[in-house]
């Protein structure tokens, strides 16, 4: 598969079982970049300016899908989401056909004050080279 440019579907399932879906779009049109390798990492951002993609400490699962490739992280594998703010968190492949690597970049949200430190997925990076 050449570099995937989107959209990415992101599903966050809360501890209570409620699932929210977000669509992330590529920041870069790889086909237009001169000299850009087909297996170059691509960054995606949430294109819904009305709603942040929040990730709570008690989330059940985070699933990312291209339709062909899929990654999934269980909340039980992350002790405290806020511990990963400002860093890149790798999301494991959900099946054997997913050969690319996925990461999420987490930031503190400009919340509404209900929760002291809301954490949002600022961006996703898909690296088709699998590195």
Q: Dump pLDDT digits (tens) for 36-48.
A: 556 778 889 987 7
Residue 64, burial from CB neighbour count under 10 angstroms (0-12, 13-18, 19+): buried
- In sequence order, the 6+-apart residues with CB closer than 8 A to the CB of 1 are 68, 69, 99, 100, 128
pLDDT category at 35 given cuts 50, 70, 90 is very low
Q: What is the pTM of this model?
A: 0.81
Q: Which residues pair with 124 in a beta bridge?
A: 44, 104
> 22 in helix, strand or coil?
strand
pLDDT category at 114 given cuts 50, 70, 90 is low
**Per-residue pLDDT for 49 more than 90?**
no
Can you tell me the distance from the alpha carbon of 40 to that of 107, in angstroms, rounded to the nearest whole number?
Answer: 24
Asked if residue 46 lies in contact with residue 12, where contact means CB atoms within 8 angstroms, the answer is: no
Mean pLDDT of the chain: 83
pLDDT category at 101 given cuts 50, 70, 90 is very high
Q: Measured on CA atoms in the order 14, 27, 90, 66, is the torsion positive or negative?
A: positive
Can you tell me the distance from the alpha carbon of 44 to that of 100, in angstroms, rounded to the nearest whole number?
Answer: 14
């Amino acid at each position: 598969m050449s570099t995937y440019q989107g959209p990415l579907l992101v599903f966050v399932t809360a501890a209570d079982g409620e699932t929210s879906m977000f669509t992330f779009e590529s920041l870069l049109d790889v086909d237009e970049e001169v000299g850009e390798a087909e297996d170059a990492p691509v960054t995606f951002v949430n294109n819904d300016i009305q709603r942040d993609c929040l990730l709570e400490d008690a989330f059940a699962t985070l699933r990312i899908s291209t339709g062909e490739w899929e990654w999934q992280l269980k909340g039980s594998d992350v002790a405290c989401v806020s511990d990963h703010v400002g860093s890149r968190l790798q999301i494991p492949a959900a099946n054997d056909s997913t050969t690319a690597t996925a990461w999420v970049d987490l930031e503190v949200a400009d919340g509404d004050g209900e929760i002291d430190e809301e954490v949002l997925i600022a961006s996703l990076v898909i690296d088709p080279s699998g590195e």
